[in-house]
Structure formats: C-alpha cells, structure tokens
C-alpha cells in the first residue's frame, strides 16, 4: 500500500496539530484518529526504532511519507539535505540488512465471523521495494504485535516475492500472514481505469439482455453487466459486476476512450436498493475510491469531444510493394504495411542495433533525483558508475538476451487494394456502404457491412495475387507447419482510437486454401459492423482505412500474456509494470475467456509481487516469476525507444513464453492512456 517516496521533503503547509505518538500502545480508537484512507481501507504508517526500542505512529495527514518523518524529525536532517541524499536514505531503511528503522503500514480490514458479525483485523506490510530478511520480518511483526491491542488480530502481508521466499521457512504460527491475492481477491470494488462520467446507467444481468439492447446504446450511456463484451460500442462508462483484468481488450478501449471502468461486485444490490437502472448518475473511478451517485434530475449534456474532433489517420500508400519479411520493416512503413507489422519490424531493428538508446526513461529527472541511472545499473548488474554509451550497450544487451522479435512476412495495403479492385461486386458494396454512412442511414449500415464481409470472404482471389501471397513464405504454405495470420491496419493504435480487439486474426491455418481464406477474413474484418461504426464515430473516412496482413509460423507457448509499462490503475506510479499471463496463448488474457495471473514488477528498485491468481488457483514457480521480472524490465527499456517524444508514454506488449523459457513478442504498441 505504501510506495518508496518519489519526493520526501513535503514539510510545507502542515496543519498546526500533529497527533503523531511515540511509544504508545495502539488501540482501535487511536488507529482511527491517526489513519488516512487508501484503496478504500484505513491505514496508518509506523516507524519502529530498533536503537531506541520504541515505535512512532505517524499522523497520516501531517506525515505522508515515512522517510520524510524519520529524516527530519528523528535524524534532524534539513529538507534540502534529504532531497540531496534521498536514494542513500531510502537504501538505509529499505535495503540495509543492519538498518536501524523498520518502516511499514498497518491497514484495517474486516471479515465475517461464524455468527455473521464483522470482526476487524490489521494487516502489516512494508513497501514493495523492501528487502527485509526472514528474521527481520519476524522481528518487525513481533515488535508491532507487542505494542498492539491484544484483541486485534494482526497478519503480515509479504510485500514482494522476495519476502514470500524469506517467510517460507518461518512458521505461520509465529508470523501469521496473508497474501495480496487473498486479501484483495474478493474486493467488492476495484478500479480499472480512472475517469468520471455523467450518464444513464444501463444494467444488464445477462449477455442476452445486453444483446437485445446493444443497438440502442449511445454515447451518454454507462453500461453495467457481469463482463463487458469486446464489441461494446463507444459509451460514457463501463462497470463490470464480476472480476476481470485491467489488461483486457475492454479496459484498453476504456483507457483509449478516456472513460471510467471498474469492478463493482455489489452493483446488483445497489441497483435494486437505489433504483439505479435507467437512472441518470454521476460515476467516478479514482485510484482509491469508486462512487456512483443518482442525480435528482436529468442533466444537460453536450456531445463529447471525440464527436467534434476527428481522429487523424496517416494516408495509406497503395503503391505496388512486395511482401516483406518483418525484419526488413521499420516504423516508417506503417502507412504501407500497417502499425503492427511496422512496430514488429522496428523491434527487430532495436534488438539488432546496440547503439539504440533504451535508457531514456531512466534518464528523465524524477525530482528530487536528476535521473534513475543508478537504479538502472543495479537492475542490469553493471558497475554503479556506468553511464553513456556503456550503459546504453548494457541495456541493449539485456533486452536482446531477454526477448525475441518474431519472424514472419508482412503483406502491404497494396495487395488488399488490388483484391478490392478486382471484384465489381465488392466495389459496388463499398460504394453502398459509403453512401449509407454519408447519408447517416444507421439502420442499414450494419446490414451492408455484413453483406460486404460475406462478399469479401467468398470473392475469388486473382491468380497473380494468390501467387504473391503464397510465394511470400520461404517454404510455402503447404508444409506441416501451422500458420497464424494477423491483422495490421493503419486505423489502430492512434491517439483516441486504439481499436484493441476490433480486427480479426486467425490462429490455426494450414495449407494454401486456408491461408488465402484467412487473408480474406482479415481483410474483411476492416468492414465489420463494429469496426466501421467505431471509425465513423471517430471521424475516420471509410476510404482512409486499409488492412495489411502478418503471416507467421505458429509458436507453441507454455505461457502467454500482456504487459503494460505502467500501473493502469495508478497512473502516477512510474515504478511499476503490470503483467498478466495465463497458460498458453496471450489471447486468453485480452479476450477475457480466463482470469489471468496478475503481477506488478518494480522496474526502479526491483522486486515483484503477485496481485491475483485468477483462474489458475496457484502461483507460478519462483524461477518463472523471476524471468517475468526480466521481461518487465525489458518492456520498460523498450518504452524508451517506442514512446516517440514522451518517454513516459507506456507500451502494451503481447508476448508468449516457449517451453524453453524464451520470450517472443507478438505485438508491441502504445498503451492508450
């Protein structure tokens, strides 16, 4: 719950009263008097002074950071001195095995007894970057337990995988404990994407109820149901009433659209109790709170900005270009081969050129620090003084040793353009769809899209075009190898328009006939009712959107998933990378068919922690979790190159891990935020 401080010298504008206590026994009334609230739970910061054999209970309002308090109030440092020595002071209290101070947080929770009543209990944890040994964790727990009201149960929550390992040899009778996934796995309300919306709540208890009303949903609706489908239209807000992941397609859409999204498991009760279904509400999702308030009367709403400001698409280049291996593409080829293909080509370049700078994220000032290079050298295992070209080379070598770019072939937009032009019936269908969109004939758009898709799926492939496609693979498509055919459009991964999950990919393709059919299917997905509606809403002209295709050999995976180089639910957190995974393909993570394992990895001070076990029921082996930590850091390093001018702009990376433990990147793109 408490992170390592970004800046700790926050002594200005303090209230006159400071209720911090030293040495007192902690009762529940005293806890409540001093506590703040984080993620919906009361919490209190504590500092154990081993040298003085006492503890300090911090007034949370007055002292938002542990280190600020102990440095200025106990050690007598001036704020400017603390700023100058911040990393050294942090190391002395979070990583020094002989440290004087033990820093932690006590949070208050409740469970239900056998009699149905609620019982309070406290949870003790350190910061995520704390490297306490097992004996030190046991001492910390015993010190707090000794000074705590005996009637209050106390559990220790390991803050990271290292602490879990240290505690494994210590009896849970001596140190009772609880893991994060046990504590928060049944949370009633969980933020997924921060935001605020005023709209009409549309509550659907089943997929059937939603399907019957989906066509009438509009931009002012807030859609609530057990799990939002990937084809949800653009609306004002999302509410899931059952668990899901912040890395699902629907939450990527929520992030890209800038709308609130959360898990509210008690919504069914709220809807009945407060008559919310169909009511106008104010819905707000913050890092530490979720509110849903019924409005007394319908508000006066204006059309959202996205309806007034069209999304810009780079004009496609339709010149006759060859199919090319992915490693020959660069990002500048996105207007010929699509964004996905161009980014994978760029990844090949990045991994093959040690001169590429992957340290820019760590080079940005994080006041009061001038940069994070010292932390990066620790993560890379090089000398603390390593800088410049030597540090860039080390970052490049680490990334190249951790991830691999996929082989494959990219088909340019020009091939789809030739295919569309080869069929007068298809051209007529496009003309009819364009006329329906221009005439705002919404009642006919979906029907014309489905008709056009059917024409594309069954239109004959001209012989010359078929040879261009089948001849693109070095060994041809008729071998025993299974192929994967993926979409790569110019109308995706744009500011305000992510298109996550909108276009088709085909993952089980064998032989020439299936390959040509899969390519047609990917081309046809550009004209699906949903993709056409979303682009039209965003102001993207029908004739400006084109589809490239990526053809790859299928790669079996022991583990697959997605990582985003940020904490999606806490955007100010520049330390953590969020990683979700499930056995097998990464598609199961993004399409929501299985609840994934969820992790956060600190790419500054190091360490990782398990957030949720999902549908797996048990955690991954320690060795696999360590490899995932390396993957998280590699993702952060790649962010320095792929984020254009803003090195804080996070990436969305789909990946798979082979049975040999190698990580293959399937897709890399900006994460909408």
Architecture of domain 409-552: 2-Layer Sandwich (3.30)
Cβ–Cβ < 8 Å for 456, 523? yes
For the 189-306 domain, the top CATH level (class) is alpha beta
Q: Quick check: pTM over 0.85?
A: yes
Nearest to 123 by CA among 137, 141, 136: 141
Angstrom distance (rounded) from CA 262 to CA 239: 5
Residue 276's φ and ψ, nearest 5 degrees, are -85, -25
Extended beta strands in 113-180, E state: 118-125, 154-156
Q: How many CA atoms lie within 13 A of 179 on its CB side?
A: 19
List pLDDT tens digits, range 128-166.
Answer: 999 999 999 999 999 999 999 999 999 999 999 999 999
Angstrom distance (rounded) from CA 76 to CA 88: 16
User: Is the pLDDT reported for residue 359 higher than 70?
Assistant: yes
Which letter, b or e, does each residue of 73-92 get, where b requires 16 or more Cβ atoms within 10 Å of its Cβ? bbeebebeebbeebeebbbb
Cβ–Cβ < 8 Å for 666, 340? no
Residue 305: pLDDT band with limits 50, 70, 90: confident
List pLDDT tens digits, range 522-580.
Answer: 999 999 999 999 999 889 999 999 999 999 999 889 999 999 999 988 878 899 999 99
Which letter, b or e, does each residue of 385-408 get, where b requires 16 or more Cβ atoms within 10 Å of its Cβ? ebbeeebbbbbbebbbebbbbbeb
Structure tokens at 577: 């990378």
Of 172-176, 310-314, 405-409, 578-582, give the lowest mean pLDDT range.
Answer: 310-314
- CATH 3.50.30.10 residue ranges in the chain? 189-306
List pLDDT tens digits, range 82-108.
Answer: 999 999 999 999 999 999 999 999 999
- CATH 3.30.470.20 residue ranges in the chain? 355-404+556-670
User: Is the pLDDT reported for residue 7 higher than 70?
Assistant: no
User: Is the pLDDT reported for residue 5 higher than 60?
Assistant: no
Angstrom distance (rounded) from CA 60 to CA 600: 25
List pLDDT tens digits, range 401-455.
Answer: 999 999 999 999 999 999 999 999 999 999 999 999 998 777 899 999 999 999 9
Which region holds residue 634: left if phi is over 0, alpha if psi is between -120 and 50, else beta?
alpha
Query: Which pLDDT does position 593 carry in this prediction?
Result: 66
Angstrom distance (rounded) from CA 668 to CA 645: 17
The more confident residue out of 586 and 637 is 637
User: Is the pLDDT reported for residue 361 higher than 70?
Assistant: yes
- CATH 3.30.1490.20 residue ranges in the chain? 409-552
User: Is the pLDDT reported for residue 14 higher than 70?
Assistant: no
List pLDDT tens digits, range 179-203.
Answer: 988 887 667 888 999 999 999 999 9
For the 355-404+556-670 domain, the top CATH level (class) is alpha beta
> How far is Cα of residue 76 from the mean position of the Cα atoms in its chain?
41
Pairing of strands 403-404, 663-670: parallel
Angle between the N-to-C axes of helices 529-538 and 442-458, in degrees from 0 to 180, rounded to the nearest 10:
130
């Amino acid at each position: 719950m408490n992170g390592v401080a970004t800046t700790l010298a926050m002594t200005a504008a303090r209230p006159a009263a400071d209720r911090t206590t030293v040495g007192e026994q902690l009762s529940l009334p005293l806890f409540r008097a001093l506590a703040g609230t984080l993620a919906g739970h009361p919490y209190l910061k504590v500092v154990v002074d081993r040298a003085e054999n006492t503890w300090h209970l911090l007034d949370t309002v007055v002292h938002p950071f542990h280190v600020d308090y102990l440095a200025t109030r106990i050690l007598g440092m001036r704020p400017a001195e603390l700023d100058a020595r911040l990393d050294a002071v942090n190391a002395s209290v979070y990583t020094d095995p002989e440290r004087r101070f033990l820093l932690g947080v006590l949070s208050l929770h409740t469970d239900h007894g056998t009699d149905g009543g609620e019982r309070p209990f406290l949870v003790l944890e350190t910061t995520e970057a704390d490297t306490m040994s097992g004996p030190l964790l046991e001492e910390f727990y015993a010190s707090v337990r000794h000074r705590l009201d005996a009637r209050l149960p106390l559990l220790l929550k390991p803050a990271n995988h290292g602490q879990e390992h240290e505690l494994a040899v210590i009896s849970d009778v001596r140190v009772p404990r609880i893991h994060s996934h046990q504590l928060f796995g049944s949370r009633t309300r969980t933020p997924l994407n921060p935001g605020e919306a005023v709209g009409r709540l549309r509550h659907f208890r089943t997929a059937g109820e939603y399907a019957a009303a989906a066509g009438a949903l509009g931009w002012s609706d807030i859609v609530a149901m057990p799990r939002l489908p990937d084809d949800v239209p653009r609306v004002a807000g999302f509410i899931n009433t059952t668990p899901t992941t912040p890395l699902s397609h629907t939450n990527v859409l929520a992030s890209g659209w800038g709308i609130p999204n959360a898990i509210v498991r008690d919504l069914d009760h709220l809807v009945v109790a407060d008559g919310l279904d169909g009511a106008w509400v104010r819905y707000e999702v913050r890092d530490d709170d979720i509110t849903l308030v019924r409005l007394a009367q319908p508000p006066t709403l204006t059309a959202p900005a996205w309806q007034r400001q069209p999304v810009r698409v780079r004009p496609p280049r339709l010149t006759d270009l060859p199919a090319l291996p992915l490693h020959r593409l660069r990002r500048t080829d996105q207007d010929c081969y699509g964004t996905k293909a161009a980014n994978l080509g760029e990844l090949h370049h990045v991994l093959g050129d040690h001169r590429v700078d992957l340290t820019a994220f760590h080079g940005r000032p994080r006041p009061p620090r001038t940069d994070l290079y010292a932390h990066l050298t620790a993560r890379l295992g090089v000398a603390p003084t390593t800088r410049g070209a030597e540090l860039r080379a080390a970052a490049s070598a680490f990334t190249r040793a951790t991830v691999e770019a996929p082989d494959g072939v990219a088909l340019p937009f020009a091939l789809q353009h030739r295919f569309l032009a080869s069929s007068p019936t298809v051209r007529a269908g496009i003309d009819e769809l364009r006329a329906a969109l221009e005439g705002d004939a919404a009642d006919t758009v979906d029907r014309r899209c489905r008709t056009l898709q059917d024409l594309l799926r069954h239109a004959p492939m001209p012989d010359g075009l078929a040879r261009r496609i089948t001849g693109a693979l070095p060994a041809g498509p008729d071998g025993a190898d299974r192929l994967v055919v993926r979409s790569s459009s110019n109308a995706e991964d744009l500011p305000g328009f992510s298109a996550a999950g909108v276009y088709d990919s085909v993952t089980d393709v064998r032989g020439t006939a299936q390959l040509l059919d899969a390519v047609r299917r990917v081309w046809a997905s550009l004209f699906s009712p949903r993709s056409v509606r979303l682009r039209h809403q965003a102001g993207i002209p029908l004739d400006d959107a084109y589809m490239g295709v990526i053809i790859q050999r299928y790669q079996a995976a022991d583990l697959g998933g997605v990582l985003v180089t940020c904490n999606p639910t806490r955007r100010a957190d520049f330390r953590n990378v969020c990683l979700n995974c499930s056995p097998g393909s990464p598609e199961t993570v993004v399409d929501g068919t299985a609840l994934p394992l969820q992790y956060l990895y600190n790419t500054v001070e190091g360490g990782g922690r398990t957030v949720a076990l999902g549908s797996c029921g048990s955690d991954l082996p320690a060795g696999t979790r360590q490899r995932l930590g390396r993957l998280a850091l590699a993702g952060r390093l790649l962010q320095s190159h792929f984020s254009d001018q803003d090195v804080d702009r996070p990436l969305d990376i789909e990946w798979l891990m082979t049975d040999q433990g190698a990580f293959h990147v399937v897709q890399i793109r900006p994460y909408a935020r």
